[in-house]
Amino acid sequence: LMGLFLSEMLETTTTIIFSPNNALQRVWKDTLDTRYHNTPSYYIYGGNKEPTGKERYLVFNHENLKFAFETLKKVIKKGTKINVIVDECHAFNEMKSDRTKLLIEICNYLNCQETLFMSGTPFKALGAEILPFLWIADPYFNANTEERFKKIFGNNGARSLDILSARIGRSSFSVEKDLIIQNKRYEIDLKVTLDNGHEYTMSAIRKKMETF
In order along its 212 residues, the chain shows pLDDT tens digits of 888 888 888 888 899 999 999 999 889 998 888 877 777 888 999 877 888 888 899 999 999 999 999 999 999 988 888 999 999 998 998 888 999 999 999 998 988 888 888 888 777 766 778 889 889 888 888 999 888 888 877 666 666 667 667 766 666 667 788 888 888 888 999 998 889 988 989 999 999 999 99
Instruction: Measure Cα distances from 103 to 8, 95, 108 in Å.
Output: 23, 10, 9
Under DSSP, the state recorded for 58 is E
Helix (H) / strand (E) element for 57: namely strand 57-61
Report the mean per-residue pLDDT for the chain.
85
Q: What is the CA radius of gyration of the chain?
A: 23
Dump pLDDT digits (tens) for 128-148: 788 898 898 888 889 998 888
Q: How many CB atoms lie within 10 A of CB 44?
A: 20
Please, what sign has the CA dihedral across residues 65, 78, 119, 58? negative
Measured CA angle at 49 (ends 88, 55), to 5 deg: 65
Q: Give me the helix-helix angle, 157-166 and 143-153, nearest 10°.
A: 120
Q: What is the pLDDT of residue 177?
A: 80
Closest by alpha carbon to 58, among 106, 108, 91, 95?
A: 106
Transcribe 142-208 into DSSP letters: -HHHHHHHHHHHTT-HHHHHHHHHHTGGGG-----HHHH--S-----------TTGGGGSHHHHHHH
- Quote the CA–CA distance of 134 and 136 in Å, as a whole number: 5
Predicted TM-score (pTM) above 0.85: no
